[in-house]
Structure 1
Amino acid sequence: MDPTFEPIIKVEDYTFYYPDSQVPALAGINLTVRPGEFLGLTGPTGAGKTTLALALNGIIPHFQGGRLAGRVTIAGLDTAATPCARLAGVIGSVFQDPEAQLVAETVEDELAFGLENLAVPREEMRARISAALEMVGITDLRHRPLRQLSGGQKQKVAIAAAIALRPRILVLDEPTSELDPRGSLEIVNLLERLNRDYGMTILLIEQKISLLAPRVPRLVCLHQSRIVADAAPRQVLGQEKLVAELGLEVPPVTDLFRLLSRAGVYHGNLPLAVDQGRRELDRLLSHESP
């Protein structure tokens, strides 16, 4: 990490036990994220990914009890000592099931709900709603009833509602789990744009490695409540033993080139996306060195 940047997320020796559990949901987690990063977080079910998301936005410990040690700071705020209402202005959260977090009848009312709770003046509220809808690309849905929207549209509304609060960080916990491939791609492309065009720090929890790997510069893997890898996606996916242990679904094009590397046919960087693989195959077939 560039030492000139103060981390916007800092997790220090963080351990958390849910009530009545003797097994930690998180164990000795250390993680730093600098402003403007697009970070991917993955791992098998039960690894602690959702628990980490809840620790970042303050739901743990303010609304979810348990035993904890260590410290989480968000933009310099200690989450254990800072009310969730104040944290909401710094970190926004989107969960895998939009139905679980949408509370209003229409799209506009949904975006207004959080702003009203923060006592944002009405004129500023209108401006924030318009800006958030435009950023997410759903201005045309402003007056639509939520019940008429598709799953992908509802997920975009949830993202817009979080953005309307103007957080510096957006944490998304498997936001594509209920979506088809097209809807999943739309959401991840949207997050790329928010990161690139608006400098928003994004932490995307996702098990669909084919979506994550080509887009995030850094991939963190959780397993049995601990961080077991924190590196560029190519470095992580190149560790075959780790990939097998975590049960990660490696992109088919990456798997193909792993086989070619093992056979001694290919000696370059592992492609993470189809277009990258096509270029590397063209080089191989034309007998060019990678």
Structure 2
Amino acid sequence: MQWRGRRGSRNIEDRRRMGRAGAGGIGIVGMLAVLAFGYFFGVDISPIVSGLDQGQPQDGAPLSERDQQYGEFVSVVLADTEEVWGGTLPQQAGRDYVEPSLVLFRGAVQSACGGASAAMGPFYCPGDQKVYLDTDFFDLMAQRMGAGGDFAFAYVIAHEVGHHVQNLVGTLGQVNAARSRASQRDSNTLSVMTELQADCYAGIWARQAQQQFGSLEEGDLDEAIGAAQAVGDDVIQSNAGRTPVPDSFTHGSAEQRRTWLLRGLRSGDMRQCDTFSEAGL
């Protein structure tokens, strides 16, 4: 992915020097709340994470060169999403795009949606319109999920920004209201449709990033597809030694995530991302 030397976003809030609080910092009850929250808003990677928060640097630890590079990379990708959605949302949805902030953190963080741990993966909080990301997740993707590469990492950011787009157009509010009245099975279905739509919006970003900035290099698309498949519910459950149970899925299967990412990429049209209508909802 071509990203070096390009404009970075001003909407980065870097809290990584505050240290890694770890799971113990929010307690057992807090961790349970985190996992429940993360399973709706982010990618629940806890089944395949072990000891992610152990032995981490204390408050005020300097950022490594790798940390700094990740910060620069995230800033450029976020700037790209600002450019893309700043034009696309008014054109296709008749709404102005309000830029979200992106918070970089280590281990654990507080948001308007409550406390959160790195074990839940990146997430978007509609309460403060911020994306939260521990960049160690990128290393986890590469080393333990088989989904490395800068464009794969960019897809993760674009997916979370996709949730912000859903928030701006009112989708998240509607889904939350519907889930409060739904059975567990129907609630899971609504969650899957929400995640797949965010994947489709990430595909729209990828298409526009290539057209506007020439970002893609050979192999980049395969990286993004690999990342989408790696966070499929069936893959995560299988990697945790479980038999995949479709009724329990909250993010969609690997094939579903691949399909909707590609639909957004090929169409560039938000109307083609209506996962809810296609599911008969």
Question: Is TM > 0.5 for Structure 1 vs Structure 2?
Answer: no
Normalized against structure 2, the TM-score is what?
Answer: 0.28
Normalized against structure 1, the TM-score is what?
Answer: 0.27
Give the number of the structure whose alpha-carbon radius of gyration is greater: 1
